[in-house]
Structure 1
């Protein structure tokens, strides 16, 4: 075997172990008994110790020095392995293990604090998570910006300053559009009771309609919807509410976007660095375009209206046009995952600024709830009513995902670019979506984005697919056109 062959064999074993760790995380959020949490924390710490040892194994450096790839794919594999190795060797093994143990335990503490509306019970473990993650960021940054080092985990070659500049460009048009929309009469909200088993049956149908392969996946329920896994085992979760089936349906479509990306990657890349999504921003571009530009379109909501009538009978919405307005209703709300397209990115900007301040040491964990509530009141004009609608609503910080939040908005930006290209490439898109047929759109996304996995850098894959340099203008144009039509602006 050549050095390249030996390296790739070693990498496949490491990736397989990483998939096992991911499955432990899936189990923890879905079916694990609550009392198992302390043991699961030890299990996660143990497997992280093994993974860290492999990722920082000195043999990787030797193989990298000796490997001679023969093609573009081989060069990309080495690029990604080298990037991961360079990061791994900077983080002490005991720190990596401590982070895995603490974040596993913190997740359960967060879930209970959220259920109890008790921020104080969560703050001590969050303090520990923030301290550990700051140490990790300092080790990775080596004198540079700690938050930039964290963002690199989720969106390579992107800095906090670059993200802030994009957000500064987006905010004025988003705020102006929101102000104009909120002055107009609000469409009717969905009311009534919707059987949760029926929701789950319809959500399975939606998952399949958007191309989710249930032979290599499954749909379960969790407190916070997520997608897990890659290659031949890609699982999603959703959640149900008796009074809000949209939460279930659009969480499912969103997570299917993530899952379809992983299922669509070239199988030759299985269990290699190229065999997963290249960044969370590109990942979010898939979930957001599935959920919003496709799933909330006038054409597709017409089909969904008929499906809901068949499933639930008369549910109080007169016709498909009224249903389209209800699905896309811009309204006051606290929850990021339930936010309309106009206001969603404002929720992300709040989190981005707060976590950046936490990592810089400019905001203390003890001050987080007050800072969140003050910022929310300033941005949205009304007060947070309870912690589960405020700083306890998201799982991300409890599990140490600092630097992750801004990728949601980067995903929206990328989705805007992709949708502009998709409309030109599939002129019959609306006719297809009106029949519940997403294959024109999903096949285009698979060909131009998903199949490539990690072959190209994040911004490069979006530029190659869309033909434009990634930027927020296509997204903002799409939002203004859509909501001006909906609200008669």
Structure 2
């Protein structure tokens, strides 16, 4: 067996074990008994210990030195394995294991604190997680920027300075658009009523099917914070139900299906290799955000959804598809990021980006986070946070140690803006299919241009090639200004 083949065989087992760990995480957030939290933490710590030992195995370095790639695909796999090996060997096994244990515990502690509106119950765990993440960041940074070191796990090659520059360019136009629409004379109607959870879930399944979700390789469950999980032949989605807000359920479902379609659309030859996953979280978010927004909130698709919802709920307080389209895209004050409209969503991300950078650098302590959050939210959104679940406890990310993840949501929106412009040019008849509740032409275009490649092509190059241009926020901002100027008669 060649050194290259030996390395690939070894990596295949590591990828399989990683997939098992991911399945344990899915189970914890969906169907695991609440009393099993401590046991699951030990299980996660145990499997992370095994994974860390494999990822830092000295033989990897030897195989990398001697392996001879036959083509660009082989070279890319060696590049990715080498990058991961260099990062993993900087993290002590003790630290990797303890992070897996405390973040597994932290997820349950956060969920209970959120339900009880009790920040103080979560702060000791957050402080411990933060201490470990700072240690990890310092080990990975090797004298460089600590936050950039964590960001590398989610958006390789990006830096906080680059992201801050993008956000600075976006913020003025987003704030101006928000002010214009909220001050407009014409305001869309709001959907009112109580919508039975079982009916919402039935509609959510219809939406997932409309987006080509492969039910033979997936399933849908409920979770406190919607997410998708899995790859290759098994990628699952979750959603949540709010009786007074069916859009929460339906668009969370479409968002997560966007993620799962990416994983299920990767070339099957890449299964159990480092190429068999999304190339970056930003690209992953572009797939969920374009599904949720540019496709799912389009005038054409909401026309189909209006008729489905009217039938399912025996009528709505909104009488026609155009008014329904405006209601789906209504811009309104709100606390919750995942429920935010397209205009304000990135402003939520910018706030979290700044706060978590300060947490990692030590400029902000965990015990001061709630006060900092509330002050920043009041400044950015003009609203005083009324309770922790609408504020610092609303997102799961920090409880599971995902520092560096938040900015990828906004990068995903930027990528989606570029992809949407190219996709619409390539599919001039797309709206006709969307009016029939068929989003598969868009999914197939994304599968051809994004999904099938997995991690074969670096993120910026992949988006540039798919969208036939340099990645900038301009397509996204122009799309938002055109769409909402039309809805609000600006």
Query: Structure 1 length normalisation: TM-score?
Result: 1.00
1:115 pairs with 2:115: yes
Note the 1:301-380 alignment, pairs <5 A: 301-380=302-381
Note the 1:126-275 alignment, pairs <5 A: 126-184=126-184, 185-275=186-276
Question: What is the CA-CA distance between 1:15 and the residue it aligns to?
Answer: 0.4
Question: Which residue of the partner structure matches residue 36 of structure 1?
Answer: 36
C-alpha contact 1:217 1:235 (8 A) present in aligned 2:
yes
Report the 3-state secondary structure (helix = DSSP H, G, I; strand = E; otherwise coil) of the residue aligned with 1:192: coil
1:57 pairs with 2:93: no
Question: Which residue of the partner structure matches residue 74 of structure 1?
Answer: 74
C-alpha contact 1:114 1:388 (8 A) present in aligned 2:
yes
CA separation in 2, counterparts of 1:465 and 1:106? 39
CA separation in 2, counterparts of 1:212 and 1:460? 27
CA separation in 1, counterparts of 2:156 and 2:213? 27
Displaced runs of 4 or more, over 6 A: none
Question: What is the CA-CA distance between 1:186 and the residue it aligns to?
Answer: 2.5
C-alpha contact 1:186 1:331 (8 A) present in aligned 2:
no
Question: What is the CA-CA distance between 1:358 and the residue it aligns to?
Answer: 0.4
CA separation in 1, counterparts of 2:203 and 2:350? 33
Question: What is the CA-CA distance between 1:438 and the residue it aligns to?
Answer: 1.0
Report the 3-state secondary structure (helix = DSSP H, G, I; strand = E; otherwise coil) of the residue aligned with 1:191: coil
CA separation in 2, counterparts of 1:68 and 1:312? 61
Count of residue pairs the alignment pairs up: 489
What are the superposed Cα offsets for residues 183-202 of structure 1, whole Å, 9 maximum, x if unpaired?
01431111111111111111
Report the 3-state secondary structure (helix = DSSP H, G, I; strand = E; otherwise coil) of the residue aligned with 1:397: helix
Question: What is the CA-CA distance between 1:69 and the residue it aligns to?
Answer: 1.1
Question: Which residue of the partner structure matches residue 97 of structure 1?
Answer: 97
What are the superposed Cα offsets for residues 296-324 of structure 1, whole Å, 9 maximum, x if unpaired?
00000000001111211112111000100
C-alpha contact 1:257 1:287 (8 A) present in aligned 2:
yes
CA separation in 1, counterparts of 2:34 and 2:216? 29
Report the 3-state secondary structure (helix = DSSP H, G, I; strand = E; otherwise coil) of the residue aligned with 2:212: coil
Question: Which residue of the partner structure matches residue 88 of structure 1?
Answer: 88
Q: Any stretches of 5+ residues in structure 1 without a counterpart?
A: none
What are the superposed Cα offsets for residues 221-269 of structure 1, whole Å, 9 maximum, x if unpaired?
0000000011001011000011111000000000000000000000000
What are the superposed Cα offsets for residues 90-116 of structure 1, whole Å, 9 maximum, x if unpaired?
000000000000000011000000000
C-alpha contact 1:196 1:240 (8 A) present in aligned 2:
yes
CA separation in 1, counterparts of 2:275 and 2:123? 37
CA separation in 2, counterparts of 1:468 and 1:225? 32
C-alpha contact 1:302 1:321 (8 A) present in aligned 2:
yes
CA separation in 2, counterparts of 1:202 and 1:2? 52
CA separation in 1, counterparts of 2:148 and 2:3? 33
Question: What is the CA-CA distance between 1:471 and the residue it aligns to?
Answer: 1.0
CA separation in 2, counterparts of 1:345 and 1:418? 18
Question: Which residue of the partner structure matches residue 476 of structure 2?
Answer: 475
Question: What is the CA-CA distance between 1:437 and the residue it aligns to?
Answer: 1.3
CA separation in 2, counterparts of 1:400 and 1:102? 9
Note the 1:405-444 alignment, pairs <5 A: 405-444=406-445
What are the superposed Cα offsets for residues 133-192 of structure 1, whole Å, 9 maximum, x if unpaired?
000000000110000000000000000000000000000000000000000143111111
Question: Which residue of the partner structure matches residue 280 of structure 1?
Answer: 281
